[in-house]
Amino acid sequence: MLKEAPPVKLFYAPNSCALASHVALEDAEAEYEAVRVDFRANEQRSAEYLAINPKGRVPALVTSKGILTETPAILFFVAQSYPNARLAPLDDPFALAQLQAFNSYLCATVHVAHAHRMRGYRWADDPSAIEAMKKKVPESVGACFGLIEHEYLRGPWVMGERYTIADPYLFTLAQWLELDGVDVAKLPRVADHRARMAERPSVRKAIAQETAA
C-alpha cells in the first residue's frame, strides 16, 4: 500500500528565516515534509525551485490548496490550520492583529536591516554604498531589537504568558545578533527569550533536522 504524502511540504535553507516556519510546524505537531534548498549550490535559482517560488527565496510551503511564501503568511496558516495547538489568539481579533503587527515588523524592518550586512546588492550597485550599509547594521539591527526589548516583548513570550507563532520568528532572527555586531548584553530580555526557546523540543528537533540534512 502506498504511503500518503504529507499534507504540507516546507522548503527551507539552513540558517535562514525558514527556521521559524519549521519550528511552528513542529509546535503544531503537523505532518509535513521538509525539503532542503542548497543555497551554496544556488538551488534557489534553479528552474525547478523557481517553479515553486519565483522569488527564489525560502521558506515556501506547498499545501493542498497551493503554495505559500513569506514567513508571516506561513506562520499564520499553520496557526489557523492547527487550532488545537493554540499558536495564535484566533478568538481575539485585537490580540491577533497585535501578533500580526509584530511579525510584520520582524519581516519588513528587522530582517531587512539584517540583510544589509551581506545582501546590500539588493539595494545598491556602488561598492561604497554597499559597504556603508554593512557598517550601519550593528546600529540599525540593534535599534530594532532595542525596541523589541523595551516595548514589544511582554513577558516570557512575545505576547506575554502565551506562546505563539511570534516566538519562533523572534528566536530565528535573534540567533543572528552576534553576527550582526549587536551587543546582546544590552538585550537581557531578548537573550532570555532566545535561551528559553533553544530548550524547547520543537526548536531542537527543527534545528537537528536542518543541520543533519
Domains of the chain with bracketed CATH: 8-86+202-212 (3.40.30.10), 93-200 (1.20.1050.10)
**116-132: pLDDT as tens digits:** 999 999 999 999 999 99
Whole-number Å distance between alpha carbons of 50 and 27:
28
What is each CA distance from 102 to 73, 106, 109, 165, in whole angstroms?
Answer: 13, 6, 10, 10
Is 114 a residue whose pLDDT tops 80?
yes
Mean pLDDT of the chain: 96
Is 4 a residue whose pLDDT tops 80?
no
At 212 the pLDDT is 87
For residues 85-103, average pLDDT: 98
At 2 the pLDDT is 45
Confidence label for 1 from pLDDT (cuts 50, 70 and 90): very low
Confidence label for 53 from pLDDT (cuts 50, 70 and 90): very high
First and final CA of the chain: distance in angstroms? 27
Contact of 50 with 99, CB cutoff 8 Å: no
Is 38 a residue whose pLDDT tops 70?
yes
At 213 the pLDDT is 62
pTM: 0.95
**131-178: pLDDT as tens digits:** 999 999 999 999 999 999 999 999 999 999 999 999 999 999 999 999
Q: Quick one: cell of 160?
A: 506575554
Confidence label for 5 from pLDDT (cuts 50, 70 and 90): low
